[in-house]
Chain A
């Protein structure tokens, strides 16, 4: 019930294309859903986050879509660039709680 399932494990996209990464959760108590970007040798960096009271949040080329009834959320990267090549993690937590549950990660490669 504490798991966050992420897919796909890896993704190859052409430059300028749309990258889509999906996550699903079980625990309906989760109320904060961040996405992190991690480059090799670096720690995860917060990219964008959403709460269940909205169905979509957009920041630049990055959009989170949230489906509360399906308990799913996804990250869309528009106009994907080679510099976006990294590992992306979805995560979930409970406000006031103490831990964040991470998905297993998606390795994105954007071909030039």
Chain B
């Protein structure tokens, strides 16, 4: 059983650019959630994807968007990057069965720096 993987590990962009981050969910998991973790803070929920559809969204602007693919892997896209977007972006996978489950397994994260 493979764990959650994310790529790339680190990324440096400039303001106004666009970025795509990738996540492969744990084997057998059908749900992926994305979180933003600023330095010294707890993770903040961005959105969740379940069976290729957005299942819920946190307080993030529309320039944060995502996709989930048939193999349950996922992408996070951020357009028009701002300096405040610099953070660790975490992907978490879980196995949602009907009523839902709560155990999330996190990947190592992608460290995004916006200059």
Complex contact A98–B43 (CB within 8 A): no
Q: Which residue of B lies closest to A41 (CB)?
A: B108
Complex contact A99–B33 (CB within 8 A): yes
- Residue in B4, B55, B102 whose beta carbon sits within 8 Å of that of A43 in the complex: B4
| A91, A97, A100: most-surrounded residue (chain B CB, <10 A) | A100
Check if A102 is an interface residue, CB within 8 A of chain B.
yes
Q: Mark B35-68, 1 if CB is under 8 A from A, else 0.
A: 1000011111100101000011010000000000
Query: How many B residues face the partner with a CB closer than 8 A?
Result: 27
Residues of B within 8 A of A (CB): 4, 33, 35, 40-45, 48, 50, 55-56, 58, 90, 92, 99-109
| Minimum-distance CB pairs A-B, first 8 | A98-B56, A102-B42, A43-B106, A96-B100, A99-B45, A32-B102, A98-B48, A44-B106
A-B contact pairs, 23 of them (CB 8 A): A6-B42, A34-B102, A41-B108, A42-B108, A42-B109, A43-B90, A43-B92, A43-B109, A44-B106, A46-B103, A46-B105, A49-B103, A89-B42, A95-B99, A95-B102, A96-B100, A98-B50, A99-B33, A99-B45, A99-B48, A100-B43, A102-B44, A103-B42
